[in-house]
Amino acid sequence: MKKTLPLFLCLLALVVGPGYSQDTKASELLGQPLLLSEGLFFEIGQYDDTWVTTDASGDSRVDYAMLVDDESLMRNFEAIDSNNDGKMDDFYIYSNDVLIRREIDQDFNGVIDLVVFISQGVYVEKYYRDQSGDGLIDQVRVFGEQ
């Protein structure tokens, strides 16, 4: 239990995301790379015994991984291999067991294409998207702004 607490604290500090913050203006984000959050991995072999893992498809490969805080039992991260190709492609990031962000590799090439920021666990605040496939943000959509 105690060995995973430092890992949890490091991961929690990274929950805002790589290379951009919640307050960055849309015009400043265009051309920035979309990167998978630190502590998450595309390769299923990198999910060690600190993660709860399952093989729902029955192909002997992990296709779901969840990192839970040992003390609070709250979710921190989830990773899913949605197309059973042996690589995680759908990532969920939580704060106090509430979903705050989702990072998705939509075309299953090992590069994040879409980052969705979520408020109160259900409301989409904004998203960053790479539509061209070059790994850089080329579309930002913020909801509720005038």
Per-residue pLDDT of the chain (146 residues), as tens digits, is: 334 333 333 333 333 344 444 455 677 888 888 888 888 999 998 999 899 999 999 999 999 999 998 888 899 999 999 999 999 999 999 999 999 999 999 999 999 999 999 999 999 999 999 999 898 999 999 998 65
Own/partner long-range contacts of 46-51 (Cβ < 8 Å, ≥24 apart)? 47/79, 47/88, 50/3, 50/4, 50/7
Place of tokens 């029955």: 58
Q: Do the strands 52-54 and 90-95 form a parallel or antiparallel pair, or are they unpaired?
A: unpaired
Please tell me the total count of domains within the chain. 1
> Residue 145 belongs to what H/E stretch?
none
Task: Tell me which residue range forms the domain holding 77.
Answer: 4-142
DSSP classification of residue 5: H
Check if the beta carbon of residue 91 is closer than 8 Å to that of residue 116: no
| Pairwise CA distance, residues 25 & 38, whole Å | 22
Place of tokens 């630190």: 38
